[in-house]
Amino acid sequence: MTDISDTPVQTFNPNPTKPVLRLPAGACDAHVHVFGPAARFPFSPARHITPMDAPKEALFALHKMLGVSRCVIVQTVIHGYDNRVVEDAIEAGQGRYLGVALVPLNVADAELRRLAESGFRGVRFNFMKHLSAAINTEELLGLTHRLKSLGMHLQVHFESSLVHELTPIFMRSAVPVMVDHIGRVNASEGLTGADFAGLVNLLKSPHMHVKVSGVDRIDPLALASPPYPNGVALAQHLLAEFPDRCVWGTDWPHPNHNHTPDEGVLVDTLTRVAPQAGLLEKLMVTNPQNFYRFSA
């Protein structure tokens, strides 16, 4: 366990602006988290920060303001392998909220089945030095065969430079793979950056998908440059190249960030990421519906 401050960190904007863009009916925020309340859902002792509570009620209120009607909640290291906080939010969401779990590689089949039946559509693994130890990739590939029978996918979060060595691993996955946050590439390198080129090459495989979220995260100059033109340019390119395999999310409540984004501003970046109504419909409605299988 690392030293953790007892002072809770504020990770989200308590007063986001209302976006100008009106999202289409059935719009999905495909990447968020929930933290606490810690009194009911204790934080993991292995966490790296102690955040302020960001409970489901705050998330639901945000989505109502933004015009979001569906959502995918991703478990984080803040709660570790105790996925109850996400299960609780899924249940309260009454079919409009689904989840992605954190599990160990040796998770029991019975637990995977229980998670799938509870509304979890996949499991996430972090290849990030600040979040996790090294992952045995052969064991991970073995897990994907167990996920296949349950209709679950693999979600991966990795440091951008790892895309080149991880590509042959992900190509062997038995299930669809969702890449987080534009592969965490350095957006200031533009479309010709080596890691972005590696991501585009990876996405040529039809079972690979990507979240064009995190335009506020992937540019070292983002703190000084909302509404994030460098990140938006990469997201726009990916959606144009792979229109059926991109989804988007706010990443609320923004842990491990260099600034606190305004969700209204993030939604309005979609006018440039998906400038045509048909593309916006695919990104926000059709693609998440097809990938996550929301109830009608």
Query: Which CATH number does the domain housing residue 35 bear?
Result: 3.20.20.140
Instruction: Name the average pLDDT for the chain.
Output: 94
Q: Is residue 262 in some structural domain?
A: yes
Q: What integer pLDDT is reported at residue 46 of this predicted model?
A: 87
Q: Is residue 179 in some structural domain?
A: yes
Which residue range forms the structural domain that includes residue 259? 28-292
Instruction: Please determine, for residue 2, whether its predicted confidence score (pLDDT) is greater than 80.
Output: no
Catalytic residue among 244, 251, 262, 268: 251
Q: Is residue 4 in some structural domain?
A: no
**pTM as predicted:** 0.95
Task: For residues 42-68, give the mean pLDDT.
Answer: 95
Instruction: Please determine, for residue 223, whether its predicted confidence score (pLDDT) is greater than 90.
Output: no
**Number of folded domains that form the chain:** 1
Instruction: Please determine, for residue 222, whether its predicted confidence score (pLDDT) is greater than 80.
Output: no
Q: Is residue 252 in some structural domain?
A: yes
Q: Is residue 213 in some structural domain?
A: yes
Q: Is 251 a catalytic residue?
A: yes
Q: Is residue 9 in some structural domain?
A: no
- The position carrying tokens 């440091």 is 159
Q: Is residue 7 in some structural domain?
A: no
Q: Is residue 276 in some structural domain?
A: yes
